[in-house]
Amino acid sequence: MSATAKQIAQQLGLSESAVSLALHNKPGVSTKTRNQVVETAKSLNYDFTKITPAKNIAGVISFILYNKNRIFEMPFFTELKAGVENEFKDTGYKLIINHVHDTEDIQKQLEDIINLGCDGIILLGTEMLKEDFAPFSFIDLPIILLDSYFNSSKMDCILINNVEGARFAANYLIKKRHTQPGYLRSSCPISNFNERADGFYKAIRQNGMSISKSVVHYLSPFIDSAYADMLAVIEQGEELADCYFADNDDIAIGAMRAFKEKGYQIPGDIAIIGFDNNPYSSFVEPPLTTVNVPKAYLGQLAAKRMLSLLHEPEHHPIKIEVNTNLIIRKSVT
């Protein structure tokens, strides 16, 4: 007499639903669990003819977005996510997108994700601080950290060369305007923006200018609130610079709107460079000069590296930095 799914579940200490998913080769359990279920079923003479053949699934990859400030709603992350999704098409791996929120129990959220079945994790860590990585260090699965860097013996890291992108942008402003550029800095502290600050100030020093003389305004990294923040700066009579480097396109566009509303000409009175090259940066007036980030390519790299890791017998963590380039439009002359 053949065994039942219930008997297999009891022997392995699993739920009947997990056993059913494994036997029918459906996503929701890890490859390890699926193999255990199949082997146990064979040993108990389970009748596999009862199962309708399903499309073979090589495994399940969890794409985890670590949320703090809802910045993943920006176009930057839409393109990055599309790059990951497109690369996994036709590979046999199922990609599941999971949002992890820092306002909830992180450990419990991760346990839920892994218990549903997961062979590897791509972690979008844009907003993560060093201490946020602690729960991930105990996960015995391949992990790719995307858009951030953490020195780890477990994680591969794929990120942007923020320092050089910002340095090049600031140097371009100095070359075009022959003056010390100001800085529209994000009031939301994340590692990418900190690295862009390093690049900006590196250019200031390399051109023999004093960092202490840099005009800096802290603005929200979202268009509408950056506009409100910049409007307040202008109305309070704070010193304004002749030109600015902004931490991202949203800050640049919000600030441009405020400057124009107060009668300043862009780029005649004030020139601005953004960062990211989001789709709408070419549609504002004037079109925004910005640092281009190959967002979809970043996602593709992460997916390719994960596919490679899943088949590597030995893992040596690597760090990949992707260079940027300047897109010259009309917000700087």
Model confidence pTM above 0.85: no
Beta bridge partners of 145: 123, 157
Assigned domain for 265 exists = yes
Do residues 231 and 258 lie in contact, with contact meaning Cβ atoms separated by under 8 Å? yes
pLDDT for res 1: 63
Q: Which of 248, 252, 61, 281 is nearest to 160 (CA)?
A: 248
> Residue 84 falls within a domain, yes or no?
no
Contacts of 253 (CB under 8 A, 6+ apart): 223, 226, 274, 280, 281, 284, 288
Does residue 309 belong to any structural domain of this protein? no
Contact indicator for 68, 127 with CB cutoff of 8 Å: yes
In this structure, are residues 166 and 274 in contact, taking their beta carbons and an 8 Å threshold? Answer: no
- Can you give the residue range of the structural domain that contains 13? 5-50
Mean pLDDT (the chain, rounded): 90
Three-state SS for 134? helix
What confidence tier does 323 reach under pLDDT thresholds 50, 70, 90? very high
What is 58-94 written as a DSSP string? Answer: -EEEEEEEEESS-GGGSHHHHHHHHHHHHHHTTSSEE
d(CA 246, CA 216): 10
Residue 107 lies in a domain: no
State how far the Cα of 309 lies from the Cα of 141, in Å rounded to an integer: 10
Name the residue among 305, 309, 314 with its Cα closest to residue 322.
305
What is the β-pairing status of strands 289-292 and 271-276? parallel
Q: What is the pLDDT of residue 178?
A: 97
Selected residue with higher pLDDT from 56 and 36: 36
Does a structural domain hold residue 174? Answer: yes
Sequence-ordered alpha helix ranges (H) in 92-149: 106-115
26 falls within a domain: yes
Q: What is the per-residue pLDDT across 237-292, written as a single tens digit (0 to 9) for each?
A: 999 999 999 999 999 999 999 999 999 999 999 999 999 999 999 999 999 999 99
Task: Verify that 168 and 288 share a domain, yes or no.
Answer: yes
Q: Determine the average pLDDT of the residues in 294-313.
A: 92
What's the CATH number where 21 sits?
A: 1.10.260
Q: Which of 29, 50, 71 is the endpoint of a domain?
A: 50
Is residue 121 predicted with pLDDT exceeding 70?
yes
- Over residues 72-78, the mean pLDDT reads 78
Provide the token pair at 245: 């480097």
Structure tokens at 68: 């703090």
Would you state the structure tokens that stand for residue 115, as one six-digit string? 């218990």
Dmax (CA) of the chain? 87
Preceding peptide of 287 cis, ω within 30°: no
Instruction: Report how many domains make up the chain.
Output: 2
How far apart are alpha carbons 170 and 160 in whole angstroms? 17
C-alpha to C-alpha distance for 242 and 173, rounded to whole angstroms: 10
Domain boundary among 13, 35, 50: 50
Last residue of a domain, one of 50, 65, 81: 50
Tell me, yes or no, whether 204 lies in a domain.
yes
CATH number at residue 198: 3.40.50.2300
